[in-house]
Amino acid sequence: MIIKFGRLYYMRFKLICACLIGLALSSTPPAYSADNALSRLSQEELGRTFQTVVVHSLTRMQTVFDQKKYKLKAMNDSMKRTLEAAETLINTGDYDFAQMKLREALGIYHDNVLAELMLADILQARGKRKEAAQTYLTFLKKAEQASQLTQDILNFESRVVINEYIRRQLKTQNIQMPKAKGERSLSLNKRLAWQKDSPLRALLASALPLTVLIGIPFLIYGQATSSFFLKKPTFKTLLVYFYLAVLFTYGVWIAHLFLKLPVLIEPVENEMLLWLGLGLMTALGRFIQIKILEGKRVKEDPLYMPCPHCKKLILRLAAVCPHCNQSL
């Protein structure tokens, strides 16, 4: 019976480990998956995706402008002219007026990458390919500098789409994507400096799956035996609550990566820290609540007492604990 019991848990352990190892290896955001998907799109499909991304980026710029996040007047004036140019293109399609507004925006604030990108696209649409290519290259150089405005209006997904779009536009003129210092390609396929995973993101991507994986044998051990960590089931209960909080956070992380669950707080690592913090506080609060309720129950009901071995409530008249089967 004991051998069958051990084999059962061993098989469960191997199955769960195999599943979670796969998730752990794939939990770090893949650097090439989005690029591979985009590379299979036709030029027309990529063009529509690029337009959607630009509109999304303009919406983010409008939000930043309305919130008056930046106190620099030049930056705000540049954003205003960029938004006016976008409105003109959408409503009337007047390339001349939009181009004039974009050049004014760049003249006021040089690091307005969205204005640079829109200007390059207008030049491309008007058949000025050499000038458009030079403007695309200028956009890449400015994007690498990673100004605060750039990070606010272009999220990671937008940067991937924009990069693939620019790569194809330059390829039509046999122009390779430029390389930054140290021969590191500016292409998002090789990751821009400002698109590298932050230390916090890398830590979460590694720590969450490892914690989930390491916690499995402890949970199995706790279910298979009546003791846990110096025979302190109260400590075991707290650890299980903490583990469930980590498991929930890891589930949300996986949902963001593979199910495209909308991010509530950007960047995503801040949202993960929020969920993890709430989960740990909830676990600790629940543990304290149980301890307080057990204490009150012992005081109010003289028929019960805590087992000296497993600390669970039992009848005072009991000779053997029904929970841990230890003699009293």
Q: Is the pLDDT of residue 87 over 80?
A: yes
pLDDT at residue number 229: 46
* Tokens matching residue 185: 């390609």
pLDDT at residue number 3: 43
pLDDT band per the 50, 70, 90 thresholds, residue 91: confident
pLDDT band per the 50, 70, 90 thresholds, residue 29: very low
User: For residue 264, what are the CA distances in angstroms to 45, 149, 168, 206?
Assistant: 28, 20, 33, 21
pLDDT at residue number 246: 87
pLDDT band per the 50, 70, 90 thresholds, residue 190: very low
Q: Give the global pTM.
A: 0.46
Question: How far, in Å, CA of 159 to CA of 145, rounded?
Answer: 14
More reliable by pLDDT, 40 or 125: 125
Q: Is the pLDDT of residue 107 over 70?
A: yes
Residue with token string 């057990």 = 294
Provide the mean pLDDT of the chain.
71
Return the closest-CA partner of residue 34 out of 164, 153, 137: 164
More reliable by pLDDT, 192 or 209: 209
Average pLDDT rounded to a whole number, residues 170-174: 77
Average pLDDT rounded to a whole number, residues 84-104: 86
Question: How far, in Å, CA of 328 to CA of 320, rounded?
Answer: 6
pLDDT at residue number 186: 36
Q: Is the pLDDT of residue 309 over 50?
A: yes
More reliable by pLDDT, 247 or 142: 247
Give the chain's domains with CATH numbers: 2-20+198-315 (no CATH), 33-195 (1.25.40)
More reliable by pLDDT, 91 or 226: 91
Q: Which of 32-41, 89-98, 184-193, 194-203 has the highest mean pLDDT?
A: 89-98
Return the closest-CA partner of residue 154 out of 106, 189, 115: 115
DSSP notation for 204-263: HHHHHHHHHHHHHHHHHHHHHSS--TTT-HHHHHHHHHHHHHHHHHHHHHHHHHHS-PPP
Return the closest-CA partner of residue 184 out of 170, 175, 194, 169: 194
